[in-house]
């Protein structure tokens, strides 16, 4: 799974998810892309599940690019721990995705096959997505 090798601070504030994307707006590397239509935290597990769904269709011909990276740590405390006693330990990493961000790109496939692959990858993600072409 994706996670940062090293970070300046181990834990971070929660922050807010608002706004629209200003970067990663168009398909840059491949011919087809999967664009987010809403703001959400995408976990490293969800990115990996979508990547597996995409590579299933590529066989040995296509190529997949992942344009997002989970670099935000999310902390969690144990089940029956009372309030207080500080912040919990890092549980997993997420990527803050804004509407308009191109998350995945593909190349080396026909449009029909790429559309089907992106649709199966979109099922793995917690937001509505749109298939886009270059």
Domains of the chain, CATH where assigned = 32-75+90-133 (3.90.1170.10)
Rounded average pLDDT over 33-53: 97
Rounded average pLDDT over 26-35: 97
What is the pTM assigned to this prediction? 0.94
Strands (E), 29-122: 32-36, 40-43, 63-66, 72-76, 89-97, 102-107
Q: Are 60 and 79 in contact (CB under 8 A)?
A: no
Q: What is the pLDDT of residues 58-96, one digit of tens each?
A: 988 899 999 999 999 999 998 899 999 999 999 999 999
């Amino acid at each position: 799974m994706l996670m940062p090798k090293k970070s300046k601070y181990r834990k971070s504030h929660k922050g807010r998810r608002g706004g629209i994307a200003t970067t990663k707006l168009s398909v840059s590397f491949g011919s087809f892309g999967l664009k987010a239509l809403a703001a959400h935290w995408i976990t490293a597990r969800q990115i990996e599940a979508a990547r597996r769904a995409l590579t299933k269709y590529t066989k040995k011909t296509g190529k997949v690019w992942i344009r997002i990276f989970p670099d935000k740590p999310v902390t969690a405390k144990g089940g029956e721990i009372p309030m207080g006693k500080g912040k919990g330990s890092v549980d997993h990493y997420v990527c803050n995705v804004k509407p308009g961000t191109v998350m995945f790109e593909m190349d080396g496939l026909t449009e029909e096959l790429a559309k089907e692959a992106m649709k199966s990858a979109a099922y793995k993600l917690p937001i509505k997505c749109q298939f886009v072409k270059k």
